[in-house]
Amino acid sequence: MIPFTKHLLFFLLLSSGLLLQGQNKNLFDYSHSLRFADYLFRTEQYELAISEYERIVFMKPDDFGSRVKLLKSYRSLPDLQRAYLKGRGWLQEMDTFPPELALEYGRILLLQKQFPVLDQFLMHPGIRLDSNERNSLRLNSLILQRQFDNAEMLLNDNMHHMPVSELQFFTQEIETGRHLKQKSPVLAAGMSAVLPGSGRIYAGDWKDGLVSILIIGSTGFGAYRAFLKEGKGSALAWIYSGLSFGFYLGNIYGSYQSARLNNIKKIQRFEKEVLHHISSDF
């Protein structure tokens, strides 16, 4: 059943029930709009839910629960930029941020990696977060910035007040991040300069390394054979030499890039675990 039909049936059923009970027939007042918005949110129709919650927040600015669900709808799409701008606008107009709303906006800042903005946000006098919530946001921020020593100090200072599940997660992520093995791009390039293909093997690209050894070795050997047979005037020898030298230089650069890209992939996999924890409403 297409979403439009589902929404139409929902409205028809709702309006029929109201008519039978003799209740208010205005389906667009606050209470009915809230019920419909919550239905859209529960059924993960976030784009439609956003339109409803925007209208609800306009009608009743002190409905902080709807503000939270509005930000969560943006985050679930995901549309983090609009969520960030929406929260920033509220921060400018509101004296206080209730705990649930502050925590949700803090998550969005983390997911966008707005670390300086998060630090300023947590220092705002109107942010009503308890110590565990503040520490969770700060720890996630420090881990994503790979400031593991600072994260460990903060964790040790607050470990007796932190839920066991949170303590285990942060302890594990700090250790994982600290021991994340990375390859040196400069060393990889240097190794391939000495022994073609070895830098790629060092970087973890075994297949590319072996192929590089085979290609450079075969073209180099072809050049050697041609020079040996026909002398310096051999066109074939110079062609082989040019190809071999080109592959040699390309392999040095490729080894550097291979190590660099593999490091990036490792960091991204690590960050993905932390970001998943943030998105799962810690």
Residue 110 binned pLDDT confidence (cut-offs 50, 70, 90): very high
Reference 55, options 73, 43, 75; nearest CA is: 73
| pLDDT value of position 86 | 94
Q: Which tens digits make up the pLDDT trace of 215-228?
A: 888 887 887 777 87
Helix then strand then coil, in percent of the chain rounded to 5, is 80, 0, 20
CA distance 46 to 42: 9
User: What residues does each domain of the chain span?
Assistant: 1-93, 185-272
Residue 26 binned pLDDT confidence (cut-offs 50, 70, 90): low
Residue 20 binned pLDDT confidence (cut-offs 50, 70, 90): very low
pLDDT for residue 48 is more than 80: yes
Average pLDDT over residues 18-31: 60
| pLDDT value of position 229 | 80
Partnered with residue 208 across adjacent β-strands are none
| pLDDT value of position 19 | 44
| pLDDT value of position 233 | 72
Q: Give the alpha-carbon dihedral of 156, 162, 168, 171, to 10 degrees.
A: -20
Phi, psi of 111 (to 5 degrees): -65, -30
Q: Give the alpha-carbon dihedral of 276, 278, 279, 282, to 10 degrees.
A: 110
Residue 2 binned pLDDT confidence (cut-offs 50, 70, 90): low
Average pLDDT over residues 42-54: 95
Q: Which residue has the higher pLDDT, 12 or 198?
A: 198
pLDDT for residue 105 is more than 90: yes
Give the SS3 label for residue 127.
strand
| pLDDT value of position 282 | 56
Burial 178-202 (b: 16+ CB within 10 A, else e): eeeeebbbeebbbbbeeebbbbbbb
| pLDDT value of position 1 | 46
Residue 5 binned pLDDT confidence (cut-offs 50, 70, 90): low
Q: Which residue has the higher pLDDT, 229 or 158?
A: 158
Give the C-alpha distances (Å, rounded to integers) separating 214 from 142, 222, 244: 45, 12, 11
Average pLDDT over residues 177-182: 88
Contact 67, 34 (CB under 8 A): no
Q: Which tens digits make up the pLDDT trace of 240-279?
A: 788 888 888 888 999 999 999 999 999 999 989 888 888 8
Q: Give the alpha-carbon dihedral of 211, 216, 218, 219, to 10 degrees.
A: 140
Contact 15, 27 (CB under 8 A): yes
| pLDDT value of position 22 | 46
| pLDDT value of position 40 | 95
Phi, psi of 127 (to 5 degrees): -80, 115
Average pLDDT over residues 232-238: 76
Through-space distance between the first and last CA atoms of the chain, rounded to whole angstroms: 34
pLDDT for residue 91 is more than 70: yes
Give the predicted TM-score (pTM) of the model: 0.74
- Can you read off the two tokens belonging to residue 184? 């040196």
Q: What percent of the chain has pLDDT over 90?
A: 48
| Single-letter amino acid, residue 217 | G
| pLDDT value of position 54 | 95
Contact 200, 209 (CB under 8 A): yes
Contact 174, 143 (CB under 8 A): yes
Q: What percent of the chain has pLDDT over 70?
A: 90
